Amino acid sequence: MIKIKAFIFNPFLVNTLVLSDDNGEGIIVDPSCYSQKERDDLDKYISENKIKPVRIINTHCHVDHLLGVAYVAKKYNIGVEFHKDDLPVFDDAYRHGIVFGFEVEKLPAAKNYLEEGQEIILGNSSLKVFHVPGHSPGSLAYYNQEQKFIIVGDVLFKGTIGRTDLPGGNYDQLINSIQTKLMSLHPDTEVIPGHGPSTTIGAEALSNPFLS
């Protein structure tokens, strides 16, 4: 069974997730810790819960979701993984950081590119990879059927959807991703977004104005 711990990091209030299983291994999703206190909070949780981080997986590569990647990769000697279509966004992170007033540490090269349909194994559990472009070209979602949750990054939020006015964004593509990949899941599936509170597939099907 996967345990999920959420942290809210940096001025963009990104949800960084630490996923851990009974075997003690952990996966860090969208490491976005920027201040020293945020880094300390993340390390403290990992240490106190005796978690061994084995992978970094990103939902996408906008700079606010990358602000802790260099630190976490170096601290725990692990690589970052994302969809290859977000590589141009990843490579532009330093420049985008300057625009928003952030100093982005030199990022490690991608260890691996994740693709639609892959299974990410964590102990006795797994996450299925969905490619859900529209917010960014390489946006990914990570789905666990057994526990009925899906980590969606900035694709879908409670009552709204992700932005499409950033480089690589495409509104029609985003709506198609949501309708074909996400809304077919069980209505009780918990949707864990990249910012803000969780919701469910059923709640968004009923009330999200972009999906009516």
How does DSSP assign 197-211, residue by residue?
A: --EEHHHHHHH-TT-
Q: Which CATH class is domain 3-207?
A: alpha beta
The pLDDT, as a whole number, for residue 207 is 96
* The overall pTM is greater than 0.75: yes
Q: What pLDDT was estimated at residue 179?
A: 98
The predicted pLDDT at position 95 comes to 85
pLDDT of residue 166: 87
Q: What is the residue type of 84?
A: K
Domain boundaries, the chain: 3-207
pLDDT at 164: 97
Q: What is the pLDDT of residue 97?
A: 83
Instruction: Answer yes or no: are the C-beta atoms of 189 and 203 closer than 8 Å.
Output: no
pLDDT tens per residue across all 212 residues of the chain: 999 999 999 999 999 999 999 999 999 999 999 999 999 999 999 999 999 999 999 999 999 999 999 999 999 999 999 999 999 999 998 888 888 888 888 999 999 999 999 999 999 999 999 999 999 999 999 999 999 999 999 999 999 999 999 888 999 999 999 999 999 999 999 999 999 999 999 999 999 999 98
State the pLDDT at residue 101: 83
Per-residue tokens: 62: 């906008």
Could you give the 3-state DSSP secondary structure of residue 196?
coil
User: Residue 109 is inside which H or E element, if any?
Assistant: none
- In DSSP notation, 129-163 reads EEE-TTSSTT-EEEEETTTTEEEEETSEETTEE--
Coil, strand or helix: which one is 72?
helix
